[in-house]
Structure 1
Amino acid sequence: MRHFDAITRVPGDPILGLMEAFARDDNPAKFDLGVGVFKDAQGLTPVPAAVKQAEQRLVERQLSKSYVGGHGDAAFGRLICELVLGSASPLLVQQRAGATQTPGGTGALRLAAEFAGHCLPGRGIWLSDPTWPIHQTIFAGAGLKVSHYPYVGADNRLDVAGMLATLETVPQGDIVLLHACCHNPTGFDLSQDDWRAVLEVVRRRSLLPLIDFAYQGFGDGLEEDAWAVRLFAAELPELLITSSCSKNFGLYRERTGALLVCSHDAQKLLDVRSQLAFLARNLWSTPPDHGAAVVAEILGDPQLKSLWIDEVEAMRQRIARLRSGLVEALAPHGLSQRFAHIAAQRGMFSYTGLSPEQVAALRERHSVYLVNTGRANVAGADEARLDVLAAAIADVCR
């Protein structure tokens, strides 16, 4: 008997497929705007100096590679809570918030999905349309009913009215996933007034917010990007937050993240955290240590933290320059107004408004690689060749 005969092949991940196609392309003038990583002026995804220094300290000082506990590195958990919620947050003083370390932000999302499936049975989850595609598969894979609320319409504009109207119809008690900043894949973020309106609907409908916070520091700044998270934490009795250190610490392959829980009292937080430790034990047993130890070293040392803050700000400013620079480079082609939204968006990604046919033409005629939906990783552009990129875009828009 052959056991594997009925197993069929599933399509590969489209973004990882773009990576492979880009690697095979021998055009020296190619652009990689597909994969979601930050790149510097040399086209490299650098290791921040603060990370290198923290790693050196760990090499010299670390005495053991034994397991960390179910919630991970305690110092990392405490410091990531301070980074996300603010060091003076009343929730931390009252011990109403805590972090469980996870393998990246994706691991935090999966732990949140398992928590919802096991501890909040019958709850559905609502995702923005569009959203990061893995959001859909993670929560569906955990057995949750997945629904969507409008976010960006066919006209490539933020649809706040449609979002609010749909959230008003969400069954009480359901979970709503929100992007704290630098919305993936669109780059369109809610204003502070929009966030207040969403908060009121969430409160009125007794919804449980799950805020995905993968890009802290890449939008308007480390503190500014946390504004909506801290608003919801201050105004609501319960909140889930997923945090990622992949982008702002450059720890992509170290898989460093956390699921933060905010509860109405300290005792209930202990109940929830006991469930998270149980679920994590059956997912990955204990989380990887290195990335979390690096983050704890940086955030716990004033000199390293100051260096890291400067490096995050430099990355943020580079992304902002690439956005405005691309719009300026499109002006001679008469396209600056059509693509003005690129400069107004935040973070690494942009819903450009290019059609799948135009995306294909960019790849075939100009070796410009981006996702078929028109999502471009602006942070992957070459600042010295924005005029070349603009000419390619103009060519496919004729």
Structure 2
Amino acid sequence: MTETVSTDTAFHYPQQRTCPYQPPEGYARLRAEGPLVRVTLYDGATAWLVTRHADARVLLNDPRVSSDRSRDGFPIVTPRLLEVRQFRTLVTMDAPEHTKYRRMLMPYFIPKRTRELRPDVERIVHESIDALLAAEPPVDLIQGFAGPLSGKVIFHLLGVPEGDQDFFQKACVRLLLASTAEDGEAALAELVRYLDELVTSRRGETGTWLLDRLVADEGSLTWDDLVRMAVQMLVTGQGSTAQMIALSAATLLEHPEQLDEIRRDPSLVPGAVEELLRYVTIADMAGIRVATADIELHGQVIAAGEGVIMPYAMMDRDPEAYPEPDRLDIHRTMSNPHFAFGFGPHNCVAQGLARLELDITLAALFERIPTLRLAVPLNELRVRSAADMQGVYELPVTWT
């Protein structure tokens, strides 16, 4: 039976957020409209919004949908995205180009390599907690802990010199917190210039860092490719993981019974991390594509050149995929994969490292600072704009 498909362009995307770790309230209305909803973007363009987990899984594996932002019809959901649409990364490439570069990175993120990083991640986490405890509370858990921590992990992985890390940390913060398209473009240009110099300096090196290995493989990569890969890993690896650490802590503090369970039994942490990844889904805006050929779905044709939006936070709250999806349950058994790291060919290549970092950080943070608590009520936090990753601009915490 053909299901109802809404073509009412009164629906807008993105939808405004009001809670740091909850999806926009408007997602419920969009879901009620049916599996496909026509939405209007900020510039008056329209796109199809997919509301169901199962449909998103199919489409994200369909070669007829493209991640290339430069294609006509690609949904530009924010002016900031318009400014960087020509800056190509793995996220914006299609096969076979995407496949080629992904295969080059995969060996460096296999489970064995990730496990080898555990001692270094543990050291960085505990040094970061030492620095947090040495500060006078309240402290912003993002800029005073999670941001520097996740940055140091990525810096260690890529081999960014210690003397450059403070500069790069501040440059990343400027990009992540840029409030205008102009500020974001300037911050990105600054990072590209720095990384171009860094990649040049590593030419001929035979070290063990990922950047050295990529430089050694220069015959398969252009210089721009090397810089682009470094930018993507440094910026996305730091920004997304920092927000995930902060929002995970805030979410657990707002669910004290489940946090107490984790404190009593640290073996629950990996399962809790998986549920937090689903529950928070900070990369809500990553499921944006454009159709390259006609696709029929639920009796409706998504025409070639039309945008397709799959909000990952909506997919991860689909009641057809997860019983009681709006309830945090650290004991949840995942019968369906979540979208926290994407799905299909573009799923995050470094997701194993992100999980490792979250596991170690959350376990250590709540063990070493048992009195950690929010310094301001949750509803007073500044939630990141609708056209950005899920998160907050600052998360003040205190302890006794």
TM-score by length of 1: 0.27
Task: Decide which structure has greater strand share.
Answer: 1
